[in-house]
């Protein structure tokens, strides 16, 4: 199906109901489980500091190209119903949309629309764990078994907490047999809820991808299920409450929420759809906007995620030692990687973020960006920034093919923002 572009863009450039029981995701690729809960004491944020002074881009960014950005949004009309993107920073500002928010009404995608974050939630979980490390409430070098005894099989080796965050734990992942995976099953079960402990128990029935923690990196969700359970064990509050008190409220992210039972998306938003085959061989788009919020995680906007990225990289949430942890990419292989991966066969994830280097154009140096992608049914999103915050990108699109990132479209959007 083809969707005509409905663009709303601006461009400037330098030159021109509550539950105590922990639940979690019904997501293909990542933990996406947030909720608002009873208030926990708010903690003072670290003093703001320059966490990335040695990683400045030194004017290497190309001039912002609104035409290239708009073209990137419009490259997958057969796979998405709508796209939204925002570029911010002293190196240029731009917002753009493509497609429709509702296939019935044909309303345009709202530039201030909210969307489900999926695995972008992992960055919030990692931030809380690193804050607890700064408070000496968790030792990143200690095995998670010391804090959560009996959670993992007795024959597992000690798994340091740090390895949960940087995907080097070697914990196995859920498979298609563990959770609904066909479009019909996804639609039928999208309101199901699953405790984190249940998901971990299912995952550890499978073989581990490697045996020595810290020796390799493999992206997955199980480590973050365990990290979220660790937050709860250490604080006595749900990890949703901790994220709300430690991150959302201090930063006044008023459009960012972590619903626990409400399956709706309040306020302006684009609908999410899933293409479901029909018996006659055709297909239809089923609206999956309403789903278990634990399946889709937090809700936010491009503006709020931009604010979060800015505060994170300015050191408002983490002290210098924890910022170093946040950005530490382990020097280990990434099995199954290829020359086309960001790490070229080596690790490229840090404690929740990914590092991507884009080749320079027209004689310019390469551009390195940090960020995270996420996806749940009907929504795929991401946020990226240069370390010095001169240019930042937040986007969301609505794929009809289910969970999982459409990497071709992601790559086009990211490249158009940082290296057109």
pLDDT in tens, 96-135: 999 999 999 999 999 999 999 999 999 999 999 999 999 9
d(CA 137, CA 49): 23
* Residue from 126, 121, 127 nearest 32 by CA: 121
pLDDT, greater one: 365 or 213:
213
Give the pLDDT confidence of 151-160 residue by residue, as tens digits: 999 999 999 9
What's the confidence (pLDDT) of residue 333?
95
What's the confidence (pLDDT) of residue 403?
61
- Judge whether 350 lies within some domain: yes
- Judge whether 179 lies within some domain: yes
Stretch 148-174: mean pLDDT, rounded? 97
- Judge whether 5 lies within some domain: no
pLDDT band at 230; cut points 50, 70, 90: very high
pLDDT band at 11; cut points 50, 70, 90: very low
Q: What is the helix (H) or strand (E) element at residue 399, kind and residue range? A: strand 392-399
Give the pLDDT confidence of 375-386 residue by residue, as tens digits: 999 999 999 999
* Residue from 104, 108, 84, 82 nearest 284 by CA: 104
d(CA 344, CA 334): 8
What's the confidence (pLDDT) of residue 14?
44
pLDDT > 50? residue 39: no
pLDDT > 80? residue 264: yes
What is the C-alpha radius of gyration for the chain, rounded to an integer number of angstroms? 20
Q: What is the helix (H) or strand (E) element at residue 114, kind and residue range? A: none
- Judge whether 316 lies within some domain: yes
What's the confidence (pLDDT) of residue 244?
92
Question: Could you tell me the residue range of the domain that residue 21 belongs to?
Answer: 10-418
What's the confidence (pLDDT) of residue 360?
80
* Residue from 225, 98, 239, 124 nearest 172 by CA: 225
Cβ neighbours for 317, distance < 8 A, ≥ 6 positions apart: 45, 46, 127, 131, 246, 247, 250, 251, 311
Candidate ranges 19-33, 133-147, 278-292; pick with highest mean pLDDT: 133-147
Instruction: Calculate the alpha carbon distances from 406 to 76, 79, 193, 206, 402 in Å.
Output: 9, 9, 26, 27, 10
Stretch 348-371: mean pLDDT, rounded? 91
Instruction: Say how many C-beta atoms besides its own lie within 10 A of residue 16's C-beta.
Output: 9
Cβ neighbours for 257, distance < 8 A, ≥ 6 positions apart: 36, 248, 298, 299, 300
pLDDT > 50? residue 33: no
- Judge whether 49 lies within some domain: yes
DSSP label of 248: I
pLDDT band at 339; cut points 50, 70, 90: low
Distance separating the N- and C-terminal Cα atoms of the chain: 27
Q: Which residue has the tokens 């983490």?
A: 318
- Judge whether 3 lies within some domain: no
Give the pLDDT confidence of 43-58 residue by residue, as tens digits: 334 445 555 433 444 4
Contact 44, 399 (CB under 8 A): no
* Number of domains comprising the chain: 1
Q: What is the mean pLDDT of the chain?
A: 86
pLDDT, greater one: 226 or 281:
226
What's the confidence (pLDDT) of residue 296?
63
pLDDT band at 329; cut points 50, 70, 90: very high
**CATH number assigned to the domain comprising residue 309:** 3.40.710.10
- Judge whether 411 lies within some domain: yes
Instruction: Say how many C-beta atoms besides its own lie within 10 A of residue 149's C-beta.
Output: 10
d(CA 103, CA 98): 13
pLDDT band at 38; cut points 50, 70, 90: very low
- Judge whether 264 lies within some domain: yes
Contact 391, 418 (CB under 8 A): yes
């Amino acid at each position: 199906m083809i969707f005509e572009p409905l663009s709303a863009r601006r461009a400037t450039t330098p030159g021109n109901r509550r539950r105590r029981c922990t639940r979690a995701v019904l997501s293909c690729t990542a933990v996406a489980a947030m909720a608002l809960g009873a208030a926990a004491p708010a903690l003072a944020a670290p003093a703001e500091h320059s966490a990335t002074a040695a990683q400045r881009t030194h004017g290497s960014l190309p001039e912002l190209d609104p035409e290239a950005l708009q073209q990137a949004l419009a490259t997958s009309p057969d796979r998405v119903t709508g796209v939204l993107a925002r570029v911010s920073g002293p190196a240029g500002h731009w917002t753009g949309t493509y497609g429709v928010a509702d296939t019935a009404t044909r309303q345009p995608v709202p530039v201030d629309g909210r969307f489900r974050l999926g695995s972008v939630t992992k960055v919030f979980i990692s931030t809380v764990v690193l804050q607890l490390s700064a408070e000496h409430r968790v030792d990143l070098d200690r095995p998670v078994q010391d804090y959560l005894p009996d959670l993992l099989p007795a024959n597992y080796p000690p798994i340091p907490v740090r390895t949960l965050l940087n995907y080097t734990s070697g914990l196995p992942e859920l498979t298609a047999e563990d959770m609904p995976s066909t479009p019909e099953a996804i639609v039928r079960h999208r309101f199901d809820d699953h405790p984190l402990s249940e998901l971990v128990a299912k995952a550890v029935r499978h073989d581990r991808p490697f045996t020595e923690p810290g020796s390799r990196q493999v992206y997955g969700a199980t480590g973050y299920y365990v990290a979220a359970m660790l937050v709860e064990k250490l604080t006595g509050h749900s990890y949703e409450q901790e994220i709300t008190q430690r991150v959302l409220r201090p930063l006044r992210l008023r459009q960012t929420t972590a619903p626990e039972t409400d399956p709706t998306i309040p306020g302006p938003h684009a609908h999410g759809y899933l293409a479901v085959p029909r018996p006659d061989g055709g297909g239809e788009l089923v609206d999956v906007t309403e789903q278990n919020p634990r399946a889709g995680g937090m809700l936010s906007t491009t503006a709020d995620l931009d604010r979060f990225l800015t505060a994170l990289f300015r050191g408002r949430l983490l002290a210098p030692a924890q910022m170093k942890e946040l950005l530490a990419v382990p020097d280990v292989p990434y099995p199954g990687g290829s020359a086309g991966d960001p790490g070229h066969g080596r690790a490229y994830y840090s404690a929740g973020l990914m590092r991507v280097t884009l080749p320079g154009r027209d004689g310019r140096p390469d551009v390195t960006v940090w960020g995270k992608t996420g996806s749940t049914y009907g929504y795929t999103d991401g946020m990226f920034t240069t370390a010095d915050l001169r240019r930042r990108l937040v986007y969301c699109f609505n794929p009809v093919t289910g969970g999982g990132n459409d990497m071709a479209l992601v790559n086009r959007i990211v490249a158009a923002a940082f290296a057109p």
